[in-house]
Structure 1
Amino acid sequence: MLMLSGPLSILMGAAGIANDRLFVTSTGYAYNFGLTSWGIIHLIIGIVLVVAGFGLLAGMSWGRGLAMVAAGVSLITQFMFVPYYPGWAIPVMALDLLILFALTRSQMERAR
């Protein structure tokens, strides 16, 4: 799932950097960054999600921790991005929640 959420964030970031007309610009929103800023944020988070996914698949010790942090940050930024493109942000938020659930659930099973 990380390898799906990461590229989706990278695509969203590329569209934001290109100032695509896909996004709605709003005024008076508390998290009103420019589209280029949002694009850079999503691009960085997407790259971190992909790196965490590769680390998790490779069985690296840092993979699970980085994946949980990256999915949590992605969830928060997607929530803040909802007014710009809710049709994209809400499904990615659901995907991030599933990632967090899967990562924390498997950790709880190992503790038993």
Structure 2
Amino acid sequence: MAQSASTPGPTRSADQEDINPWAAGGIMFAGVLLLVDGVFGVIKGISGLASDEVYARMSNYTFRFDVTAWGWIHLILGILLGTVGWGILKGATWARGTGVVIAAISLVINFMWLPYQPIWAVISIAIDTFVIWALCTEDLKAVI
């Protein structure tokens, strides 16, 4: 049934903000991406722990670690990413701020890991960048 001129439509209070649908959907998608990136991290970690031949060996790289060390780094980071992603999907208040911090740490770790597996590192860096943007977008709107 169409609204006539005499029947008012839904009203908004002065406190209600227009929520950017990209940001609202982005937060949910960021939670999913963190969960997926966490699973990827666990897989990268297990691969590094299981075999020293999985990743390329670097001879003159500043951030050269033993492959087992990279395996532990990715395994622990993957567990943290997955946990925070799950928290975001459940709507936990602690998860959004923690998500930004852990995604930033993941971004730096994957940048350092870039020579070992460039494709996976670039994929993880792109995921982390989007997660940081999505989790910060709605909070910035309140400041502006």
Q: TM-score, normalised by structure 1?
A: 0.93
Aligned twin of 1:86 = 118
SS at match of 2:53: coil
Distance 2:128 2:55 in 1: 21
Unmatched runs of 5 consecutive residues or more in structure 2: 1-32
Q: In structure 1, give the amino acid aligned to 2:75.
A: L
SS at match of 1:78: helix
Q: Percent identity?
A: 36
Q: TM-score, normalised by structure 2?
A: 0.73
Distance 1:49 1:92 in 2: 11
Unmatched runs of 5 consecutive residues or more in structure 1: none
Aligned twin of 1:36 = 68
Aligned twin of 1:26 = 58
Aligned twin of 1:61 = 93
Q: In structure 2, give the amino acid aligned to 1:103.
A: L
Instruction: Give the C-alpha shift of residue 110 in structure 1.
Output: 4.2
Structure ranking higher in helix proportion: 1
Aligned residues: 112
SS at match of 1:23: coil
Please tell me whether the aligned partners of residues 52 and 68 of structure 2 are also in contact (alpha carbons under 8 angstroms). no
Distance 1:22 1:110 in 2: 46
Distance 1:22 1:88 in 2: 13
Q: In structure 1, give the amino acid aligned to 2:123.
A: P
Distance 1:11 1:92 in 2: 13
Pairing 1:51–2:89 present: no
Instruction: Give the C-alpha shift of residue 109 in structure 1.
Output: 2.8
Q: Which has the larger radius of gyration?
A: 2
- Give matches, 1:69-80, under 5 Å: 69-80=101-112
